[in-house]
Structure 1
Amino acid sequence: MNIPAHAPLHLLHTAAVGTLATHARQPEGFPYPSMLPFAPDARHRPTILVSRLAEHTHNLHADPRAGFLVVDAPDGDVLSGQRVTLLGTFEPIDSTAAIVQRYLRYHPDAERYLVLGDFTFWTMKLERLRYIGGFGAMGWLSGAELDALPPLGLDEENALIEEFNHAYGGAGAFRLLGVDRYGADLMLAGARKRLAFDDARLNPETLHMALEVCIQRARQIS
């Protein structure tokens, strides 16, 4: 089926919450769905912050295979909205300064959970995904097909975030959350927005230029 270029990737940067489906331990084998906030990592994969006491965390320790559903239906019409179902395995990752910093940019309220010492980060390793974006725009992709390009370097992303937040911070409650080769995530006037570039940006100069244009346009519209 015809899938718009990079539509699943942009969707994973648009939504703030997803539905995690793990394998229940009791009753054994049943799907166990739960809703969780998530942040996309540099490869656009969902990163979640979960309590060690949560049922879904126990389920992942027993069987890391899981599904993760992300939906964008701002008008409430789910069947006409975009959605992507990810299949793969979740793996625990160390709470490095970079991981914490990135997650808190997307979910600053999560800092209160981190101080408890009971929460850990997990990232999904994608096997396959199915995207539905409307009539005739649906199909399966392998995990590798989500993005074949090398991710933006941590230092390069942080430099762009610092530069643009310094330039526009405070103007219309602007806050840049993340940058990648296909677009940028930001908070503007209290609303989360995904700014998609017209094409992938492979070098710093074109990336900076595309980011500047998108931000200026978003501020004019808001």
Structure 2
Amino acid sequence: MNIPAHAPLHLLHTAAVGTLATHARQPEGFPYPSVLPFAPDLQHRPTILVSRLAEHTHNLHADPRAGFLAVDAPDGDVLSGQRVTLLGTFEPVDSTPEVVQRYLRYHPDAERYLVLGDFTFWTMRLERLRYIGGFGAMGWLAGDELDPLPPLGFDEENGLIAQFPTQSGGKDGFQLLGVDRYGVDLKLNGARSRFPFDDAKPNTETLRAALEDCMQRYMN
């Protein structure tokens, strides 16, 4: 195994779209892949918003085991780019104000689906994952190895974001999406971007300092 530190974690914050592979009901047992947007939750796990009428939603109700693939190949060379395959089970998540608010920061257009009333959130509980970052950089990890640190809470993340408003004095098209102990998720001119920290930030003080550094780079 030769995986750069936190590379799978950062990739899950860089990609905006993933491939969900569920177990088909008809014909039974076959993989059923589907492409859809996702947002990383506070534990970096994919959270999806799906219609109750969708085939993959019916499949998950019958068998919650699934695979999920995220890819970052900005130059179009998939074999030289980064990709991570996640294996685990998807679980429904209540549409609490915190969950809705955070997901809409990453995918604001999803608000029109929430208005319809038949869309629900699901989050993946990781069992194993395989990361490939190019030649010689690949390997398996257990789900609990993705991030050994306790995640930020909704209130802590929102408090940090509130301290760094992005609407005044910033570059056109700049938006702060999310914060975790390893980096910041940004939207620059409509495209998802990841600002990784040099190391993990264990407390609010070190997170605030890292955010200040990020803001100085993008807001000036």
Q: TM (normalized to structure 2)?
A: 0.96
Partner deviation per Cα, 1:87-134 (whole Å, 9 max, x = no partner): 000000110000000100000000000000010000000000000001
Partner of 1:115: 115
Partner of 1:28: 28
Partner of 1:142: 142
Using the alignment, how far apart are the partners of 1:161 and 1:33 within structure 2?
35
Partner deviation per Cα, 1:28-72 (whole Å, 9 max, x = no partner): 000000001000000000000000000000000000000000000
Using the alignment, how far apart are the partners of 1:146 and 1:105 within structure 2?
23
Using the alignment, how far apart are the partners of 2:82 and 2:218 within structure 1?
21
Unaligned runs of 5+ in 1: none
Using the alignment, how far apart are the partners of 1:212 and 1:13 within structure 2?
20
Partner deviation per Cα, 1:132-161 (whole Å, 9 max, x = no partner): 001111000000000000001211110111
Using the alignment, how far apart are the partners of 1:198 and 1:146 within structure 2?
17
Divergent runs of 4+, >3 A: 166-171
Q: Percent of aligned pairs with the same residue? A: 82
Partner of 1:69: 69
Partner of 2:187: 187
Partner of 2:125: 125
Contact kept, 8 Å, 2:166 with 2:176, in 1: the verdict is no
Using the alignment, how far apart are the partners of 1:143 and 1:133 within structure 2?
18
Q: Which amino acid aligns with 2:3?
A: I
Q: Which amino acid aligns with 1:184?
A: V
Q: Which amino acid aligns with 1:108?
A: P
Contact kept, 8 Å, 1:106 with 1:177, in 2: the verdict is yes
Using the alignment, how far apart are the partners of 1:144 and 1:9 within structure 2?
12
**Deviation for aligned residue 1:170:** 5.2
Partner of 1:102: 102
Q: TM (normalized to structure 1)?
A: 0.96
Q: Which amino acid aligns with 1:88?
A: G
Q: Which amino acid aligns with 2:177?
A: L
Q: Which amino acid aligns with 1:68?
A: F
Using the alignment, how far apart are the partners of 2:117 and 2:174 within structure 1?
31
> Number of residues paired by the alignment?
220
Contact kept, 8 Å, 2:184 with 2:194, in 1: the verdict is yes
Are residues 169 and 63 of structure 1, via their aligned partners in 2, closer, same or farther at CA, if it must alter by over 3 Å? Answer: farther
Further displaced range: 36-45 or 200-209: 200-209
Contact kept, 8 Å, 1:165 with 1:174, in 2: the verdict is no
Q: Which amino acid aligns with 1:153?
A: G
